[in-house]
């Protein structure tokens, strides 16, 4: 790599922290593999050959992906290896394959163009999701699309050689890109696109290297050989750092290594305050493979298992047995720890192609979650409930119904669940007789009547992401008003306090699975409000546990009482940061 001797101006790029750690090093800029497809009209005599060429390309892609899966399992572990299962599912989707063949035959177009255009539709659909967990899955489609098209064109040669240890910078990294890298030479990852749940983030955590995603301008600002500092704790990238900046980050790095060693020591210890209050500390997951990580990180269980991906990553609806097998494997992997299955929160920006719905002017206020199933898609809902109930035979299963806005909705869900159990019982199917049921409190109406909803279920789970958005009338994706989206708004704090209080009045426990639960600044505040359960991102779990173990419940109560008396968001934020910086001098996030 060329080393630039002349000192250039320091530049700081802000992104999203995806894998913790700080690293300094040279850049290897990965330009990416661009798929080029040109239309070609087929003669009648060429159609059969083109169809066979496509099927052969798909078969070879399956073989290639299986080899990558085995390579990932050997070098990165099972969590990273199972990422490629989603790729295999796409290549086994009959609707994608059949539609490609149909277009080749009826429109007489080349196979690579037909497949490219079909995959583009899926990619665009997923990329438009507002939920980052699903938006980031578009990269899987691009990975599969690229592989099949190169196989059709007969030019797929993947050679990526890094001569010396470097920080990989790219617009995006597919799972194939990542697993083919020489891990001994990868110091860290920085990408323009992607979120904290993207596959490059998962693989970076498996490789135990820092990662920052969502940088937007990194590839435009950086060249191979540039010296940079990558901060996976704060989500920043420093290009051409000054000596002063380098010294500052070296001190942070020393502190981080010291704190990281402390975190490792508390994995098996309970999330218990110094004065003896136990907090249930669970994790949010999306895939079966993440369940083992919950146990490894010392989590008390899964507080939110998102089930939407099974519906969004394919053209046809998943069957009961397919869902059951996935759910049962996840329950078994937890080895007795509880898991909360949130039923499919579809609609809004997450409407699968397999469900036909008329267009809505405002889908976020329309047919979403329970509303989507209550009138015309109940069979889809019933299928999922059957799969979850069947999986309860293998462990401690709980069910969470999303976007409940009134008592009649939770009663509808409870009645359908009861009906499902009766059917399974009549069929002689085994399942647990004790499946706690909860309601997600994420719209203002349910927050106001949380006591009435609590009478209908066993627990409440606060979904702060939507609760904040709906309560403050703020579209967090709108750059003009996104500054108003803040969990420390006094109205939101009072609402959370009241939800917890109303739940406790009715004798049910109250948890939180929104992003606020993963925010270290919120931990003492939520403990002080008597929140029973935190369900956090896996990457935040040990940090939140460390904070819990270093505070007294009584001091958290005092902090919460004071925070609730402030009249502006800014004052609450300033107060919490002040307390945090004094009490946790060794913690950076």
How far is Cα 387 from Cα 137, in angstroms, rounded to an integer? 24
Residues 6+ apart with CB under 8 A from 384: 307, 323, 343, 344
Residues 6+ apart with CB under 8 A from 377: 355
Evaluate whether 211 touches 200 at the Cβ level (below 8 Å). Answer: yes
Residue 199 annotated in active site: yes
Paired strand residues for 169: 29, 190
Q: What is the DSSP string of 377-416?
A: -HHHHHHHHHHHHHHGGGS-EEEEE-S--SHHHHHHHHHH
Q: Is 154 left (phi over 0), alpha (psi -120 to 50) or beta?
A: left
Angstrom CA distances, 582 to 337, 497, 542, 562, 579, stand at 35, 25, 20, 17, 5
Evaluate whether 467 touches 442 at the Cβ level (below 8 Å). Answer: yes
Burial 24-35 (b: 16+ CB within 10 A, else e): bbbbbbbeebeb
Evaluate whether 438 touches 461 at the Cβ level (below 8 Å). Answer: yes
Output phi, psi for 111, to 5 deg: -60, -40
Task: Write out the two tokens for 518.
Answer: 């993963």
Please name the residue that has the structure tokens 């509303």.
371
How far is Cα 513 from Cα 450, in angstroms, rounded to an integer? 16
**Which residue of the set 219, 413, 457, 513 is catalytic?**
513
Residue 295 CB neighbours (<10 A): 16
557: Cα within 13 Å, side-chain hemisphere: 7
Residue 359 CB neighbours (<10 A): 6
Rg (CA), the chain: 25
How far is Cα 551 from Cα 570, in angstroms, rounded to an integer? 24
Evaluate whether 203 touches 177 at the Cβ level (below 8 Å). Answer: no
Q: For 10, which DSSP code? A: P
Task: Write out the two tokens for 317.
Answer: 């609806």
The long-range contacts involving 328-332, CB below 8 angstroms and separated by at least 24 positions, are 328/390, 328/391, 328/393, 328/394, 329/288, 330/285, 330/288, 330/291, 330/302, 330/305, 330/391, 331/391, 331/392, 331/394, 331/395, 331/396, 331/397, 332/394, 332/395
Q: What's the per-residue H, E or C state across 549-561?
A: HCCCHHHHHHHHH
How far is Cα 565 from Cα 571, in angstroms, rounded to an integer? 10
**Which residue of the set 150, 199, 240, 310 is catalytic?**
199
Residue 240 annotated in active site: no
Its sign, for the CA torsion 304, 310, 312, 316, is: negative
Output phi, psi for 188, to 5 deg: 180, 175
Q: Show which residues are catalytic.
A: 199, 513
């Amino acid at each position: 790599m060329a080393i630039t001797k002349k000192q250039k101006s320091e530049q700081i790029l802000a992104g999203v922290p995806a894998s913790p750690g700080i690293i300094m090093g040279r850049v290897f800029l990965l330009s990416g593999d661009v798929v080029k497809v040109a239309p070609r009209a087929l003669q009648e005599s060429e159609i059969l050959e083109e169809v066979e060429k496509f099927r052969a390309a798909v078969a070879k892609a399956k073989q290639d992906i299986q080899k990558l899966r085995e390579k990932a399992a050997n070098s990165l572990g099972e969590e990273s290896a199972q990422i490629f299962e989603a790729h295999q599912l796409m290549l086994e989707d009959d609707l994608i394959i059949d539609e490609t063949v149909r277009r080749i035959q009826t429109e007489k177009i080349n196979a690579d163009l037909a497949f490219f255009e079909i995959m583009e539709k899926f990619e665009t659909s997923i990329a438009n999701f507002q939920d980052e967990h699903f938006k980031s899955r578009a990269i899987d489609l691009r990975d599969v699309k690229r592989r099949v098209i190169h196989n059709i064109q007969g030019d797929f040669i993947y050679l990526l050689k890094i001569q010396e240890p470097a920080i990989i910078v790219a617009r995006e990294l597919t799972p194939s890109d990542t697993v083919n890298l020489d891990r001994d030479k990868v110091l860290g990852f920085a990408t323009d696109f992607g979120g904290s749940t993207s596959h490059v983030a998962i693989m970076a955590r498996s490789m135990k290297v820092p990662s920052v995603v969502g940088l937007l301008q990194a590839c435009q600002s950086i060249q191979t050989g540039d010296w940079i500092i990558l901060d996976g704790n704060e989500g920043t990238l420093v290009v051409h750092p000054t000596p002063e900046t380098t010294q500052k980050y070296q001190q942070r790095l020393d502190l981080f290594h010291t704190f990281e060693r402390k975190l490792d020591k508390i994995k098996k210890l309970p999330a218990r305050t110094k004065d003896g209050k136990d907090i249930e500390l669970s994790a949010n997951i999306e895939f079966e493979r993440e369940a083992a990580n919950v146990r490894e990180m010392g989590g008390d269980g899964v507080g939110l298992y998102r089930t939407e991906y099974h519906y969004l990553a394919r053209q046809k609806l998943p069957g009961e047995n397919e869902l059951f097998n996935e759910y049962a494997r996840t329950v078994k992997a937890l080895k007795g720890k509880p898991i909360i299955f949130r039923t499919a929160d579809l609609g809004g920006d997450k409407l699968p192609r397999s469900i036909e719905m008329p267009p809505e002017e405002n889908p976020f206020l329309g047919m979403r979650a329970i509303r989507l199933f209550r009138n015309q898609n109940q069979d889809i809902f019933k299928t999922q409930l059957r799969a979850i109930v069947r999986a309860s035979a293998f462990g401690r299963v709980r069910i969470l119904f999303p976007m409940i806005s009134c008592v009649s909705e939770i009663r509808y869900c409870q009645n359908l669940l009861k009906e499902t159990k009766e059917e399974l019982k009549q069929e002689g199917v085994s399942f647990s007789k004790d499946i706690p049921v909860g309601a997600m409190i994420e719209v203002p109406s349910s927050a106001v009547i949380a006591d009435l909803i609590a009478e209908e279920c066993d627990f409440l789970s606060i979904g702060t992401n939507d609760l904040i958005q709906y309560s403050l009338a703020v579209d967090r994706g709108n750059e003009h008003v996104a500054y108003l989206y803040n969990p420390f708004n006094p109205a939101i704090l009072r609402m959370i306090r009241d939800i917890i209080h109303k739940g406790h009045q009715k004798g049910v426990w109250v948890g939180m699975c929104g992003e606020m639960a993963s925010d270290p600044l919120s931990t003492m505040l939520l403990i002080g409000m008597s929140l029973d359960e935190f369900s956090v991102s896996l990457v935040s779990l040990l940090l939140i546990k460390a904070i819990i173990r270093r505070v007294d419940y009584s001091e958290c109560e005092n902090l919460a009482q004071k925070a609730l008396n402030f009249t502006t968001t800014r004052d609450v934020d300033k107060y919490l940061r002040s307390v945090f910086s004094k009490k946790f001098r060794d913690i950076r996030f």
